[in-house]
Amino acid sequence: MPKVQIIDTNRGNIQNYGFCGYKNVKNEGHIRKSEWLKKRYDEGLKFKVLHSDLDGSVGIIEYIPGEYCWRAVKANGYMFIHCIMIYSKKYKGKGYGAELLKHCISDARKAKMLGVAVMTSAGTWMADKNLFLANGFEMVDSAPPRFDLLALKFKKTAPSPGFNRTGDKLPKKYKDGLTIFWSDQCPYNRKSVNDVTEAAESLGIVSKLVEIDDCKTAQILINPYGTYCMIYNGESIADHPVSRARFLNIMKEI
């Protein structure tokens, strides 16, 4: 049986661990994400790696006080979970996701916060809500067609977090052509940006790139995901990183 432990990362050790499926710590996505994390630790961010002595990194959880979250939500006073995943099939269904969640809840209680909040997705790219519902969370808001906001309140009288409604606030300069909003909060974003801009160029489309470099910008993005969004002629066409092939298929549909 493998020995599995949850490691609390920091500036000094983050470069020693693979995460989010990246085994090679010299990969560009890993390096960019590591640098992004180093800037967030002072804001109270926790990035914990589920580490196996046989297989290395097999899961992670990332959370931060809601005031500093990188999603289009209002969650002041809550600990906010950006990501939680077990990405090795060998370790799924064994309770490790619940164990990671317990660490977050414990840290939120120690910090005397209102509770823990998380955004989930009915589709790809984000955690499903079932893990949270099974651990006492409740639905507090939704952003159709696929995002839900859940919270575990430590006191029933605590105010609920909610989505920021920003769909009608896209500046005019982004309403023509292709605009990609992105940040290094997700290690896959930069690769998607590179793939999409090359694919767009093959179609004769010039991409506008807007790097999201602070949490306040993420909190008011047109897309609830907060750290990646593609807008074409004023309409959102992707709310998470996509491949070259997926982008070309989207443009065919348009």
pLDDT digits (tens, 9 = 90+) for 34-72: 999 999 999 999 999 999 999 999 999 999 999 999 999
133 has a pLDDT exceeding 90: yes
Instruction: Name the segment(s) of the chain with CATH classification 3.40.30.10.
Output: 172-253
Mean pLDDT, range 178-195, rounded to an integer:
96
Mean pLDDT, range 193-214, rounded to an integer:
96
**pTM for this prediction:** 0.94
- Three-state DSSP state, 64: strand
233 has a pLDDT exceeding 70: yes
Q: What tokens does 24 get?
A: 């090679």
Q: How many CB atoms lie within 10 A of CB 142?
A: 16
- pLDDT above 90 as % of the chain: 81
Mean pLDDT, range 108-112, rounded to an integer:
98
CATH 3.40.50.300, applies to 172-253:
no
168 has a pLDDT exceeding 70: no
Q: Which residue has the tokens 């004769």?
A: 204
Question: Mean pLDDT over all residues of the chain?
Answer: 93
Say what the pLDDT of residue 149 is. 97
As to burial, measured by CB atoms within 10 angstroms (0-12 exposed, 13-18 middle, 19+ buried), residue 105 is buried
- Given pLDDT bands bounded at 50, 70 and 90, which one contains residue 2? confident
Q: How many Å apart are CA 242 and CA 233, to the nearest integer?
A: 18
Instruction: Name the segment(s) of the chain with CATH classification 3.40.630.30.
Output: 4-163
139-145's contacts with Cβ under 8 Å and 24+ in sequence apart are 143/224
CATH architecture designation of domain 4-163: 3-Layer(aba) Sandwich (3.40)
167 has a pLDDT exceeding 60: no
